[in-house]
Structure 1
Amino acid sequence: MNDFPKIWFLRHGETEWNAEGRIQGQMESDLTERGIAQAHHQAELVRPILQREAPPCLVSPLRRAQQTAKIALGGAAFDTDPRLAEVQAGVFQGLTRAEIAATYPEIHARAQTNLDLFCAAPEGEGYATFHARVLTLLQALKAPTLIVAHGLWGQVMRGIICGLDYDELADLPNEQGCVYRLENGCETALR
């Protein structure tokens, strides 16, 4: 198990495409009213952390994470890092799962989880490259850090920190509106 600093991880709030069941990957979609409310709830959870610990904050460059960070961090300064972008899901970006099932039935049938599906996308980033990108960011962290990014990005990060194998990390929940605290190889969800 690697020795990473403490991390507080926030997945962005629900987006229009999340609500429609549409694959976003690195495409853009705005927060829904529910997503905005989730970000406000995260702000309540994060406020004492920001006051007590004052960690550096890193945020994905994608709009939904930026929107979430502006609310959840309550005006605290943050840096944007391109390594925090969600997995690039190739030709699946913009499609619903039903559209993928109709057009790519073999891939859809093999994909047991969202991570399987996104990483199997033709012209996509693929798991090995995605995992390496997440690990590179984690290895660059020098101090406890607050991160605002994406569901699958968070699953891979959380799996790396907790020493999980692929199947275990692919099955992790992807909650919105909470904060995952990762420390000493363990995860706690703050709700």
Structure 2
Amino acid sequence: MPAIIRANPPKIWFLRHGQTVWNAEHRVQGQMESDLTELGQSQAAAQAAIIAPILETHRPPVLVSPLRRAQQTAEIALGGMPITTDPRLAEAQAGVFQGQTLSEIAARYPQIRAENPHALDLFCAAPEGEGFEAFYARIANLLSALETPTVLVGHGLWGQVLRGIICGLTRAEMAALPNEQGCVYELENGTERVLRDAQTR
């Protein structure tokens, strides 16, 4: 396991994609594709209301996961602002679990499911998956490359590790983090602030 370190990159605004069809079905996506639901589109619209003044004031660069749900979210939330697609922002590759529901995983891999109640640990324990060490290293690599305050649009587990690295959390603490959609996580100087649209509170 990699050493958990606290990183202090430039200020980050992190957007998790909105709800997808597979989210609603409790089906593991990983690096497979699933489109936003109507609720997911509404969540991205809520992010648009939050991020608009930030974009206008700071004009930050935007990096987005190549996976379609993140691209769809960015299109709605950022109003057509220019983006750069970065493969390092893709969600954890969850091996044989991808495409299966959580109940199917529990039936087929009862020991793995029982030992890993949190999604981050479950994805990273998947046979033929990416694993935590490689996932963590990929995220840390992107963080080390940031030179200016940046908007990142990606995925739930990716965001948990990102937030954990910046806030100096252990792996167990990362895995237990809440994982909201429709908000913006503002990360700076080792702290996290969750920005929410006033109309959705």
TM-score range, shorter chain: over 0.9
Q: Any idea what SS the aligned residue of 2:13 has?
A: strand
How far apart are the structure 2 equivalents of 1:110 and 1:92? 15
SS of 1:94's partner is coil
Deviations 1:35-72 (A, max 9, x none): 00000010000000000001000000000000000000
Q: Distance in 2 between matches of 1:2 and 1:37?
A: 32
Please tell me whether residue 171 in structure 1 is matched to residue 176 in structure 2: yes
**Cα offset for 1:75?**
1.1
Correspondence for 1:103 among 108, 119, 133: 108
Question: In the alignment, does 2:65 pair up with 1:60?
Answer: yes
Shift of 1:2: 2.4
Q: Which residue is 2:15 aligned to? A: 10
In structure 2, the residue matched to 1:86 is 91
* Matching of residues 6-85 of structure 1 within 5 Å: 6-85=11-90
Deviations 1:5-37, CA, capped at 9 Å, x for gaps: 000000000000000000000000000000000
- What percentage of residue pairs aligned between the two structures are identical? 68
**Which runs of at least 4 in structure 1 moved beyond 3 Å after TM superposition?**
none
The separation in 1 between residues aligned to 2:73 and 2:126, in whole angstroms, is 27
Cα distance in 1 between the residues matched to 2:87 and 2:62:
14
TM-score (norm 2): 0.94
The answer as to whether partners of 2:11 and 2:186 remain within 8 angstroms in 1 is: yes
Do structure 1's residue 127 and structure 2's residue 132 form an aligned pair?
yes
CA displacement 1:130-186 (0-9 Å, x = unmatched): 000000000000000000000000000000000001111111111000000000000
Q: Any idea what SS the aligned residue of 2:15 has? A: strand
Unaligned stretches of 5+ in structure 2? 1-5, 197-201
Q: CA–CA distance in 1 between the matches of 2:97 and 2:116?
A: 13
TM-score of the pair, normalised by structure 1 = 0.99
Count of aligned pairs between the two proteins: 191
Structure 1, unmatched stretches of 5+, are none
What SS is found at the alignment partner of 2:180?
A: coil
Tell me if structure 1 keeps the 8 A contact 2:8–2:189.
Answer: yes
| Structure 2 CA distance for aligned equivalents of residues 2 and 132 of structure 1 | 12
**C-alpha distance in structure 2 between counterparts of 1:75 and 1:48, whole Å:** 15
Q: Report the alpha carbon displacement of residue 108 of structure 1 after superposing the two structures with TM.
A: 0.6
